[in-house]
Amino acid sequence: MKLASAMILFCGIVLLRTVLSAEGSGTYHITMEQPAPYYSPMVATVPAGYRIQWINKTATAHTVMHNDCLTENVCTFDSGAVAPGKSFTLSFLQPGTYPYYCRLHPIMRGVVKIIEP
């Protein structure tokens, strides 16, 4: 009887931990729009562990390119052309600040801030 109670408690804890960790991750959505701010939200603060998905809701193709892609530094992400109605998803980014822009329309700029959860 005591063992059964312990087992139920253990299973409950495992189940709870599973639910909590599921809540701790997910997908953060950024919309590509026309006109400004082009990327909405323009500054996205995202807890570490979330995927980030950019959805193109405009009638033309856009890219999502980390600013460092055109310097000597590490190019952390570059979507290439994202067609109208399509999306681009990043599965993982280290905590930090990542300014990015659209290579096809450099006026389009955004920032992703990855924070510790």
Count Cβ atoms below 10 Å from residue 88 Cβ, excluding itself: 20
Residue among 62 and 66 whose Cβ is closer to Cu ion: 62
Residue among 29 and 105 whose Cβ is closer to Cu ion: 105
Q: Which 69-108 positions form the footprint of Cu ion (CB under 5 A)?
A: 102, 104-105, 108
Count Cβ atoms below 10 Å from residue 63 Cβ, excluding itself: 21
Least distance (Å) from Cu ion to the CB of residue 105?
Answer: 3
Q: Which 37-66 positions form the footprint of Cu ion (CB under 5 A)?
A: 62
DSSP assignments along 6-67, one per residue: HHHHHHHHHHHHHHHHHHT--EEEEEE-SSTTSEESSEEEEETT-EEEEEE-SSS-B--EEG
Least distance (Å) from Cu ion to the CB of residue 75?
Answer: 18
| Count of residues engaged in binding Cu ion, rule: CB under 5 A | 5
Residues that bind Cu ion (CB under 5 A): 62, 102, 104-105, 108
